Amino acid sequence: MKEYMREDMDSRKIAILTLKKIWLAFVIAIVTAGLFLGIYLLKTKVFNGADVYRSDALYKIDFDDEKYDSTIIFYNDYTWNDVIDADIIAGKVAEKTGLSKEDIAAATSVPTMSDITLFHVYVDASDSSKAEAIQAGLEETLAEFADGEEGFVSITKWDQKKTYIYKDASHAGRVAVFGFVIGLIIGYIVVRFMVIIGQDTKEVNDEE
């Protein structure tokens, strides 16, 4: 019984001492958040600091009414990225532009479609002329693709924005919060460990 009461008192004492030193956990959390944020900014602003030019074009798909249901199973917002990255599109655009198929695939992306008959194609490149050249090659190749593929009547460019410098959304806030949470967890473990070790050392000294 006495042993149980002693263990209970020790647990409470450790909890109280931990709370008294909890400020140290917050210090570690702040330092960790700063470290995470610094690494993120270094990566995004220094190593990936070059401007990225984006060509944004909107394409209109006219499906064959008789084969509409079967066609949209294979060509939708989940598959267009794969279609464009394949030889049938990226390979032919590469031939038209003098670039590699891998360059075309890396430069192009299709965001989620809100309308099955309309899709954007983003082309990101290190200079505006390269982005526009790839987009022009895509326009021609997509038209050829629709002419030769069952289920389509045509794919035509419906609209195109002026090429602009693309700024990716910053995730600095999320990175800092994530770093703070990780640091707080580590800080709590460190403080708890320090308190327990301190108590054990004190008990040994008292016994001596």
Check: CB of residue 45 under 8 Å from CB of residue 107: no
Q: Break the chain into its structural domains and give their ranges.
A: 2-47+172-207, 52-166
Q: Residue 78 has what pLDDT? A: 75
> For the purposes of burial, counting CB atoms within 10 Å of the CB of 180, is it exposed (0-12), middle (13-18) or buried (19 or more)?
buried
**Which residues lie closer than 8 Å to 30 by C-beta, 6 or more apart?**
180, 183
Q: Residue 41 has what pLDDT? A: 78
Q: Residue 201 has what pLDDT? A: 57
pLDDT tens by residue, 76-96: 767 899 999 999 999 999 999
Q: Which helix (H) or strand (E) holds 101?
A: helix 101-107
Q: Residue 88 has what pLDDT? A: 93
Q: For residues 115 and 126, what is the distance between their CA atoms, to the nearest angstrom?
A: 30
Q: Residue 145 has what pLDDT? A: 95
Low-confidence residues of the chain, pLDDT below 70?
1-10, 44-50, 77, 168-170, 198-208
Specify the CATH architecture of the domain 52-166.
2-Layer Sandwich (3.30)
